[in-house]
Amino acid sequence: MKHRSNAFNINLAPFVLKPAAGGLGAYVSKINVESISDLDFQFLYEAFLKYHVLFIRDQKLTHQQYLDFAQRWGEIVHYPFSKGVPNYPDISEIRKEPSDTLNFGGEWHSDSTYLLEPPVVTMLLALEVPDAGGDTLFANTRLAFESLSPGLQNMLEKLRAVNSAELKRLGGRRDFSLQRGSMNHANLDRAKEVEAIHPAVRVHPETNEKCLYVSMSHTSCFEGWTEEESKPLLEYLQTVITRHEYTCRMKWEKGTLGLWDNRCTQHLAINDYGGSRRTMHRLIVRSEKPKASIGKKAFLKGSFRG
Ligand code: SIN
């Protein structure tokens, strides 16, 4: 796995780290994030930059401890489409009940790419997991970009992509979300207003690596292209991003704190545990405007604070 050179040699880290696959992802154990020192946090951060997805086992956190840990990664971003848990509006409950058929996050995507400054980090704390199933898949969008021909890379680097919160290909956010009945939804009727244009290829500001930044879930079209014209290329790129060799399949346990880098990954929550409950507490952290590799800036078409 290619990664930047740095001052923190992960082999000396004060926790146990086990890579999950060749392309990205690692399990971390023997660490308590609630009391992690600044130095140990630096090691964890280096592991995050190297593996992009970390699943930290055996965490017991109150809502406040969870928020405090998340704030070490940057400012909390409010997720506009969830009301949050009582007294903690920024902690969204991702819940699927035994009777529900659809799950949250069941399509490949990077989180909230329809915001002008999408969150860098997403965290999920697993409260209840099914006996079997309920894993999450992740894909490395840097490896996907690097696998493309120079011709296609050059073309994509000049493109910007229109990202919408409306979930158009899934029938619209309102109707789609109401089928996920156990979630505490908010602002469903305002999703159409939330749209941002970002570079189709973004540069990761900490590793300088170029990563694809489009998805079939949130990208409606390339700027200046029709949706019909954009769809075949978006479908092709989604196929490349999700090639097995660029993915990993991460397993949850009760008390796992999962966190990932939305700048260089996509993910999909597998919906294969009908009849069981799965409950996660989710935080999104640190707004960052995606940076283009050839100097174009993202701009906002519509936005609101939920
Ligand atoms: C998400 O898309 O943020 C949720 C992923 C999951 O529930 O595994």
What are the extents of the domains in the chain?
Answer: 10-302
pLDDT band at 172 (very low <50, low <70, confident <90, very high): confident
pLDDT at position 188? 74
How far is C-alpha 86 from the chain's CA centre?
Answer: 24
pLDDT band at 306 (very low <50, low <70, confident <90, very high): very low
| Number of other CB atoms surrounding residue 231 within 10 Å | 16
CA distance 105 to 102: 9
Nearest atom in ligand 1 to the alpha carbon of residue 103 is 7
Nearest atom in ligand 1 to the alpha carbon of residue 270 is 8
* CA 107 / ligand 1 centre spacing (Å): 9
Q: Which of 102, 120, 273, 280 to mutate to test the pocket of ligand 1 (most atoms within 8 A of CB)?
A: 280
Residue 65, phi then psi, degrees to nearest 5:
-65, -35
CA distance 204 to 184: 33
CA distance 60 to 88: 17
pLDDT digit string (tens) for 118-136? 999 999 999 999 999 999 9
Q: Whose CA is nearest to atom 6 of ligand 1?
A: 269
pLDDT at position 177? 75
| Number of other CB atoms surrounding residue 278 within 10 Å | 24
Give the β-pairing of 16-19 and 26-29: antiparallel
DSSP annotation of 232 reads: H
pLDDT digit string (tens) for 204-243? 999 999 999 999 999 999 999 999 999 999 999 999 999 9
Say which CATH class 10-302 falls into: alpha beta
pLDDT at position 295? 57
CA distance 121 to 113: 12
Query: Which of 10-19, 42-51, 223-232 has the least mean pLDDT?
Result: 10-19
CA distance 192 to 303: 10
**4 or 291, which is more confident:** 291
The answer to whether 211 and 142 are in contact (CB under 8 A) is: yes
**122 or 306, which is more confident:** 122
pLDDT at position 303? 42
Element (H, E) at 281: strand 278-287
DSSP annotation of 212 reads: E
Q: Whose CA is nearest to atom 8 of ligand 1?
A: 269
Residues with CB under 6 A from ligand 1: 94, 104-105, 111, 122, 124, 136, 267, 269, 280, 282
pLDDT band at 14 (very low <50, low <70, confident <90, very high): confident
Q: Report the 3 state secondary structure along the chain.
A: CCCCCCCCCHHHCCCEEEECCCCCCEEEECCCHHHCCHHHHHHHHHHHHHHCEEEECCCCCCHHHHHHHHHCCCCEECCCCECCECCECCCEEEEECCCCCCCCCCCCECCCCCCCCCEEEEEEEEEECCCCCCCEEEEEHHHHHHHCCHHHHHHHHCCEEEEECCCHHHCCHHHHHHCCCCCCECCHHHHHHCEEEEECEEECCCCCCEEECCCCCCEEEECCCCHHHHHHHHHHHHHHHCCHHHEEEECCCCCCEEEEECCCEEEEECCCCCCCCEEEEEEEEEECCCEECCCCCCEEEECCCC
